[in-house]
């Protein structure tokens, strides 16, 4: 089981604002901040961390679980409104499995952020 994930970002303030808006439909909020880093989470502790570090390097793909398909849709809409770039509109991805419903958005640094629901 993974406890937390960290990704590098160029502009922490810009990314923090993006993620606070984009992940709000999933129940995420900024929970901790230290110089150059911030952590977002939904259940008492942050599990998704942003760290400022100049060059970003390899673009990451992070998939976050949504409770239902409507939440995937809400994530996508919030992320696009917050400045994300479309990388796969909400919909079924039967090549993964018959009930895989996901949406993909590129964050300000090009990381591929996904919300996914596995329920029918």
What local confidence, expressed as pLDDT, does residue 16 receive? Answer: 98
* Rounded Cα–Cα distance for residues 28 and 69 (Å): 17
**CA dihedral for 23, 25, 26, 30, sign (positive or negative):** positive
Q: Give the pLDDT band (50/70/90) at residue 43.
A: confident
Tokens of residue 112, six digits: 């591929």
The yes-or-no verdict on residue 34 having pLDDT over 90 is yes
**What per-residue confidence (pLDDT) applies to 58?**
85
Longest Cα–Cα distance of the chain, Å, equals 43
Confidence (pTM): 0.94
Q: Residue 12 class from Cβ within 10 Å (0-12 exposed, 13-18 middle, 19+ buried)? A: middle
User: 17: which 2 tokens?
Assistant: 């604002």
- Pair of tokens at residue 43: 């259940």
**Domains of the chain listed by start with CATH number:** 5-117 (3.10.180.10)
Average pLDDT, the chain: 96
Q: What are the pLDDT digits (tens) for 76-87?
A: 999 999 999 999
């Amino acid at each position: 089981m993974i406890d937390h994930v960290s990704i590098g970002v160029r502009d922490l303030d810009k990314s923090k604002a993006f993620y606070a808006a984009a992940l709000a439909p999933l129940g995420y909020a900024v929970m901790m901040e230290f110089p150059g880093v911030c952590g977002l989470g939904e259940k008492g502790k942050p599990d998704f961390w942003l760290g400022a570090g100049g060059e970003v390097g390899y673009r990451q793909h992070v998939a976050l679980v949504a409770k239902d398909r409507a939440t995937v849709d809400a994530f996508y809409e919030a992320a696009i409104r917050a400045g994300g770039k479309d990388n796969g509109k909400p919909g079924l991805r039967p090549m993964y499995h018959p009930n895989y419903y996901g949406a993909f958005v590129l964050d300000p640094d090009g990381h591929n952020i996904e919300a996914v629901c596995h329920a029918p």
